[in-house]
Amino acid sequence: MLFVGALVGSLWPTLADAHSGANWFDDQAAMNSSGSPSIRINLSEQKAYFYKGGRLVGVSLVSSGKQGFRTSPGKFRVLAKRPNHRSSIYGSFVDRNTGRVVKADVDTRKHRRPAGTYYRGAKMNHYIRFNGGIGMHASGHVPRYPASHGCVRMPPHMARKFFQYSRVGMPVTVTY
């Protein structure tokens, strides 16, 4: 079954669809195409492409690293996958007694934890790590421009598909 934003049914998307603004994923092609999976991330387009062999089986809009936190171009491999990952650097300080966020958008390397609080890392569900601590993951905020701390944000439904069909060791190419 084809999973899409704008397409429906079992239609195979055209090249024009691949370059449109739609998120789509063809599960049948991902399961039945021969060859190894790979991901290509185009930072200029703010899109990620999932291939099985030489066949394009999915496209997702993404949001990569903003100025000062740019996502590095290069050739990488999937290092790890974690379905319910939390950031060890970016998150919030939360009051131990009330559970209320005391300070949001903290960077543990720069901000000191106030007394009576604990650190709660930002959710990074369906995390596919490919360059040090940088990876692809689900996010509720995926503008069509660089806005992250270096990771590649994806809409949750697309992050789930890329996570499902990716494998540790598979290639990830990041270009402009």
Res 15: pLDDT: 54
Res 12: pLDDT: 46
137 catalytic per annotation: yes
Give one DSSP letter per residue of the chain, joined into a string: -EEESS--TTPPPPHHHHTSS--EEEHHHHHH--S-EEEEEETTTTEEEEEETTEEEEEEE-B-B-TTSPPPPEEEE--EEEEEEEEEEEEEEEETTT--EEEEEEETTTPPPPTTEEEEEEEEEEEEEEETTEEEEE-S---SS--BSSSEEE-HHHHHHHHHH--TT-EEEEE-
Res 16: pLDDT: 56
Structural domain count of the chain = 1
Res 4: pLDDT: 43
Show the domain range for 159.
2-175
Res 96: pLDDT: 98
Q: Which residues pair with 172 in a beta bridge?
A: 39, 76
141 catalytic per annotation: no
Catalytic residue among 85, 141, 151, 157: 151
Res 22: pLDDT: 85
Weakly modelled stretches of the chain, pLDDT under 50: 1-12
Phi/psi at 89 (nearest 5 deg)?
Answer: -115, -45
Res 18: pLDDT: 55
Res 17: pLDDT: 55
Catalytic residue among 19, 111, 126, 137: 137
Instruction: Report the CATH number that the domain containing residue 168 is assigned in CATH.
Output: 2.40.440.10
